[in-house]
Structure 1
Amino acid sequence: MAISSRLDTARVLATVLLPTLAKGVIVRRPGVMALAEKTRSDSAAIDTLRHLRDRYGPEPVRLRITGRSVAVLVDPADVGRLLAESPAPFSLATREKKSALEHFQPHGVLISEGEERRRLRELNEGALRPENVPVEAVVRDEADLLIRHVMSTGELTWDGFAQTWWRIVRRIVLGDGARGDDQLVDDLKALRQNANWAFLHPKRRGLRDRFQHRLDEHLRRREDGSLAAQPGDLSGQVPHWLFAFDSAGIVTMRALAIGARGTRGVLESARLWPTTPVILRESTEPTRWHGTWLPKNTEFIVFSPFFHRDPERLPYADRYAPEIWDRPLDPAIVPFSGGPGVCPGRDLVLATGGAMLDALGEHLSFRVVDAPLPRTLNHFSLRLQATRTGTRVS
């Protein structure tokens, strides 16, 4: 088993883990994202992972961190195994993840274990189906207003897009009665900002109670045509659905910046700029890797941008390549994670994001980011110049 030098451990911390934490793992920080884009931080991180692979070979590389067993994966086959063998012996409910998500979703499936996880996973998979809600009708209804606004101003900004996106999300998740409830999303954002600090920030129980009360009022309506109408106790799961839809909005905005359309366009955007750049698993028992045993409670780190944008393995690494989704993929290209822990809302997110791309693309053409595509793309600063297509808005 390869053990990194102290210098290489410091390099991983400085170029991979700390920048990822600084950008915000639960909600992005605009100022840090702008700095990351300027300094090309993801390129530096990818170079670091390539250095580890070249120096230590394909086996997991253990970092020299006192008091913890931490291993960084550098081989796609190992990523496939780690995800396929989750949640046992590789648990999704790592200590770091629990300390962050407990700020706003202490009962979510992502940090549940055992029989409780099985029950919640089944509930989520049943509820988060595209056919449960009129996705395209909701998207087109809300996109109509955004299209008119962009036609009048000549550009699409993140702020304008995000306002429309959250109206769509609230209608899909909670129903038309929640369309204008900006306070719900604002409270959730505040809780998620605290969650960025995980155990370093005290829990704001009053704010969380206010958010949960507001959310439960919407859920009690069980409005037809929304996810809230699905059977089961959804109260503890919806905060994570809203959290995930935030990432989906970022992915969709970035897709517009590269001229993407449909669900394959959403997938490509998520490959090029994964919104979960670090995937964590923690072993519940000793596990063997390349002939060497790693102890129980080893934390495994998968840095997705390295596997998604590695030019040594992927000829399409830095370009828009929707055609790759028509065939079997490299096992480490996992924009929605993989294995039993794959995002249960994957199909719903793809349907919503794809519908948004198509609705806007029917009426607007955007000036796109030039190739080769940057490895860091700050969605907050995107200002997409737009021109009308030949289709009129009804």
Structure 2
Amino acid sequence: MPAQALPTASALDTARLLLGVLLPTVAEGPVIKRPRAVGLAARLELDSKAVAIVRKVHGKYPDGPLMLKLPIRKQAVVLAPEDVETVLAQSPDPFSPASSEKKAALSHFQPSNVLISQGPVRTVRRVLHEQVLDTDHPVHRLADAFVPVVEDEIQELLVDAVRAGSLPWDDFADAWHRVMRRVVFGDHAADDTGLTMMLDRLRKDGNWAFLKPVRKRTRARLNERIRDELARAEPGSLAAALAAAPKGDGAEPADQVPQWLFALDNTGMAAFRALAVLVTHPEAMAAARREIDGDTSGRRHLPYLRACVLEVLRLWPTTPMILRQTTQPVQWARGLMPAGCGVLIYTPYFHRDDRHLRSAHNFSPERWLTDEDDGWPLVPFSDGPVVCPGKQLVLLLTSTALASLVSGHDFEVQEGPRLDPARPLPGTMDNYSVTLGVSLRA
């Protein structure tokens, strides 16, 4: 007797998910954001509409992962919170992060990275990431080096912003790129914009995945530049930690570094968005400043500001699609999922579920400081055995940046969306359009 198949969406519902959810998300940029596409998504409220589409489809197919009716690709969408937990808890096997789509995108600039690796070599690379990024510790062992880097660059940024009277996104992004180059390679790399531009060029190609050929010579030059930087590893940098870490066979250390730069770039977006929210939410700003004033950790552990970043990533995840691919057939209660099947978790559907989450569309960082939402898939850094290994480092750097920004300066929105705390926040946050007025605090 043949195994029962999972529920399959109709051709019409498959088209709704592809055109209303997948296409807008990919258009915004899965590897590096496209500013114009983000702006268009904000104006047309495409991300909010995508959540509504998933909710409607889930209402029609309430049980088990839903297979899409596609002619070639075997693809499932996860719609139930308990199924999200199953997929993430059972990664990387049988739910491998190395999906075909992710391989096609990331191979443009990091073909041997842990995210698209499988088997024993993946284990070797994952262990290396966890060692260097200090995954299990909320305060990285190199925090005494990293915190001054963040404070130094933010203060330089603020001097120029006060002089100009404004802080646009582009200026913040430039300062943040200096932070991430210094954190990864050391102070000598602060001005190495060429390396960032080279990586961004390849990341833009990665947005096209299968549809664009790999620039193999550019990728080789990037890898050579990174190897040169690693050879010059400065004490107190991730490069130095990488040089000192034990490396198993197939570790390919240089090919792990682009992911850190990629992830830290998205981290800057989260930090700036968090600043914009604090500027428009006086109660949250007051709570943040109380924490800063009472801090005894030297800005190394600021729980409320970390919660602010997590809440911004819940509201506007920089990676809204978690992708997996089955390494073998997987039996679910409602049927069998075949081997080689793509699995999609669209996180905004769960992050913005106002049927189950209090203040789902509002800024409520306190949720991350309690167990109120435990058991619900709020997964801005994924979860389970393949949770983002740099999660704690990201929270350290962003909370330090926010503390440096708001402790001695006041801000107001000059351009961009006005985020009203009394109203639901938009489904898309167009940080590219934001300019903040800046002045010294009285």
TM-score normalised by structure 2 residue count: 0.86
Tell me what 1:280 maps to. 323
Aligned residue number for residue 198 of structure 2: 187
The answer as to whether partners of 2:270 and 2:313 remain within 8 angstroms in 1 is: yes
Structure-1 residue corresponding to 2:392: 347
Letter in 1 for 2:55: R
Q: Distance in 1 between matches of 2:344 and 2:253?
A: 30
Q: Which residue of structure 2 lines up, in the alignment, with residue 327 of structure 1?
A: 370
Match of 2:382 in 1: 337
Once the two structures are overlaid, the 10-residue window that deviates more, 370-379 or 238-247, is 370-379
Equivalent residue in structure 2 for 1:80, among 82, 85, 101? 85
Is 1:147–2:152 an aligned residue pair? no
> 1:211 — aligned with what?
222
Question: For 2:165 and 2:431, how far apart are their aligned partners in 1?
Answer: 18
Aligned to 2:31: 26
Q: Deviations over 1:235-285 (max 9, x none)?
A: 111011101111111111111111065211111111110011110111111
Which shifted more, 138-147 or 287-296?
Answer: 287-296
Q: TM-score scaled to structure 1, two decimals? A: 0.96
2:208 counterpart of 1:158: no
Counterpart of 1:201 in structure 2 is 212
Match of 1:255 in 2: 274
C-alpha separation between the residues in 1 aligned to 2:63 and 2:50? 17
Partner-residue secondary structure (3-state), 1:21: helix
Seq. identity, %: 42
**Match of 1:292?**
335
TM-superposition CA deviations, 1:98-151 (whole Å, max 9, x none):
111111001111011111111111100010132234221111111111111221
1:268/1:320 contact within 8 Å kept: yes
Instruction: Output the CA distance in 1 between the equivalents of 2:182 and 2:89.
Output: 34
Give the letter aligned to residue 411 of structure 2. Answer: F
Paired residues of 2:68 and 2:74 also in contact (CA < 8 A) = yes
Per-residue deviation, 1:92: 0.5
Q: How many residues align?
A: 390
Shift of 1:337: 0.4
Distance, in Å, in 1 between the alignment partners of 2:222 and 2:432 is 25
CA distance in structure 1 between the partners assigned to 2:339 and 2:226 by the alignment: 38
**2:163 is the counterpart of 1:174:** no
SS of aligned partner of 1:224? coil
Query: How large is the Cα RMSD of the aligned pairs?
Result: 1.3
Per-residue Cα deviation, 1:170-189 (whole angstroms, up to 9, x for no partner): 00000011011000000000
**Hey, what's the Cα distance between the residues in 1 that align with 2:187 and 2:437?**
31
State the AA in 2 paired with 1:168. V
1:104 equivalent among 104, 109, 114: 109
Q: Match for 1:93 among 90, 98, 114?
A: 98
In structure 2, what residue type is equivalent to 1:160? D
1:314 is aligned to: 357
Q: Distance in 1 between matches of 2:334 and 2:66?
A: 13
Structure 1 unaligned blocks of 5 or more: none
Secondary structure in structure 1 of the residue aligned to 2:253: coil
Residue 37 of structure 1: CA displacement? 0.7
Question: Partner residue of 1:369?
Answer: 419
